[in-house]
Amino acid sequence: MKLKKLILISLVILFILNTIIVSSQSTGLKEEKQITVLVMGFGPFLNYNVNPSELIAADLDGETICNAEIIGLHVLPNLSNFSESINIVYQAIDSINPDYIFSIGLAAKYENIRIEKVGFNLKSEIKNDSKLEKLIPNAPFLRISPFPSMRIFRELKKESISSQTSFFAGLSLCNGMLYSVLNYVDINNLDIKSGFIHVPLHKTEENPDAMDLQTMVNATRIIIKVCLEYFSCINC
């Protein structure tokens, strides 16, 4: 009889303990944060009436990649006043609070996709007759993108998409955007991964041998997937 009571009491205690453990595990579960990816593309500039980077951002806007929400952002490039264009991205960062920022620009003299790694604190604006100046006074000379450029290169190569890693994004607005966003993220202690991708001219009747726009869009999807897998441990 005493043994039966002891067994019964033990079972009751085990049941209560199990209930407490399950309850604590349930209440301790956190809702997964929706990952937001900002894809920025520039509008037309100089003699380029259509900018493929803008088309890529528009194409991906509203898409979901590996459960991450993609927001496309259009920025008019002001080559005489970089700050005007860069401030648009600052405002988007403050309002959207993205987890990733993929800035895309046109590098017309190249035929492949360039994964930019380094932004320099230098600018050459048209209004100053191409005189070299600092982008941001009292800021570091360079900023390095955390994007895994070699891993991105390998994944693009698997899909037969021509690309290369690059350590110089020029001294115009593309470099200005790369550096300024990396600097903004750092000085404001934001948990945002940011980088810059250069794309070539896209295929048109005037440029039949250029890279197809859809190839660029697919390449951007791959780049986003690689970064999500690398930083957020998402299995795409």
Banded model confidence at residue 129, pLDDT cuts 50, 70, 90 = low
- Looking at per-residue pLDDT, the higher value among 55 and 126 belongs to 55
Q: Catalytic one among 54, 125, 155, 198?
A: 198
Helix (H) or strand (E) holding 107: none
Dist. CA 228–CA 220, nearest whole Å: 12
Structure tokens at 121: 């604190």
On the question of pLDDT at 28 being above 50, the answer is: no
Structure tokens at 58: 């528009």
Dist. CA 140–CA 183, nearest whole Å: 8
For residues 142, 148, 152 and 153, what is the CA-based torsion angle, rounded to 10 degrees? 60
Dist. CA 207–CA 49, nearest whole Å: 13
Dist. CA 103–CA 67, nearest whole Å: 20
On the question of pLDDT at 16 being above 80, the answer is: no
Q: Catalytic one among 116, 125, 155, 227?
A: 116
The region of weakest confidence among 65-79, 84-98, 129-143, 145-159 is: 129-143
Half-sphere exposure of 141 (CA within 13 A, CB side): 0
Q: C-alpha angle 160/143/82, rounded to 5°?
A: 90
Neighbouring CB atoms inside 10 A of 90's CB total 14
pTM of the model: 0.84
54 is catalytic: no
Dist. CA 114–CA 63, nearest whole Å: 23
- In order of 11, 43, 45, 124, 131, the CA distances from 172 in angstroms are 73, 15, 12, 6, 11
Banded model confidence at residue 205, pLDDT cuts 50, 70, 90 = confident
On the question of pLDDT at 31 being above 90, the answer is: no
Banded model confidence at residue 22, pLDDT cuts 50, 70, 90 = very low
Query: What would the pLDDT profile of 83-118 be if each residue is shown by its tens digit?
Result: 999 999 999 999 999 999 999 999 999 999 999 999
Superfamily for domain range 36-232? Peptidase C15, pyroglutamyl peptidase I-like (3.40.630.20)
Mean per-residue pLDDT of the chain: 88
The closest of 189, 195, 176 to 121, measured between CA atoms, is 176
Q: Catalytic one among 54, 125, 155, 174?
A: 174
Once rounded to an integer, what is the mean pLDDT over residues 162-191? 97
Banded model confidence at residue 4, pLDDT cuts 50, 70, 90 = very low
Once rounded to an integer, what is the mean pLDDT over residues 196-217? 94
205 is catalytic: no
Banded model confidence at residue 20, pLDDT cuts 50, 70, 90 = very low
74 is catalytic: no
